[in-house]
């Protein structure tokens, strides 16, 4: 499975929560954008209404995993070591987007930064910094 789109689709199919959220990934050249379509089941605070913080955290974590699979050619799905999430503003009932940037990949650990936004990429609603255990494929 060398096609990045097929690799990502297979990963998302193995994660029941990704299917529940309706998470999609779009590839355009070397850029990957994760898309979380809005649904009423994502609301955590019906008074505002606002997307649940756990939904945003999981969305950004899966974005980081997908980016690692595509860019680094992992032999198996990376495992989360730790994540730190900054909730910058309420996620309104809109489609949410995210992009991950791999800061560094060592022999066993990768450092990834993810930002999520809705209307404007320059106004993120949340950010994630995480460390992931990686198993790179053998390179010839």
- In sequence order, the β-bridge partners of residue 85 are 128
Structure confidence by residue, pLDDT tens digits, 42-76: 999 999 999 999 999 999 999 999 999 888 776 67
pLDDT band at 138 (very low <50, low <70, confident <90, very high): low
H/E element, 119: none
**pLDDT score for 72:** 77
What the block records as the tokens of 111 is 């450092």
- In sequence order, the β-bridge partners of residue 111 are 104, 131
**pLDDT score for 3:** 79
Q: Indicate if the pLDDT at residue 140 is higher than 50.
A: no
Superfamily of chain region 4-133: Hotdog Thioesterase (3.10.129.10)
Task: Work out the mean pLDDT of the chain and round it to a whole number.
Answer: 91
């Amino acid at each position: 499975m060398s096609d990045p789109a097929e690799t990502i689709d297979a990963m998302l199919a193995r994660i029941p929560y990704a299917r529940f959220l309706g998470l999609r990934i779009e590839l355009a050249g070397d850029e990957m954008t994760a898309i979380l379509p809005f649904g009423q089941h994502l609301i955590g605070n019906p008074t505002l209404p606002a997307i649940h913080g756990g939904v945003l955290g999981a969305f950004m974590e899966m974005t980081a995993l997908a980016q690692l699979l595509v860019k680094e050619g992992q032999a198996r799905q990376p495992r989360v070591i730790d994540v730190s999430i900054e909730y910058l503003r309420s996620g309104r009932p809109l489609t949410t987007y995210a992009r991950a940037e791999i800061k560094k990949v060592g022999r066993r650990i990768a450092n990834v930064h993810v930002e999520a936004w809705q209307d404007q990429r320059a106004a993120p609603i949340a950010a994630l910094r995480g460390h992931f255990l990686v198993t790179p494929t053998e390179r010839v």
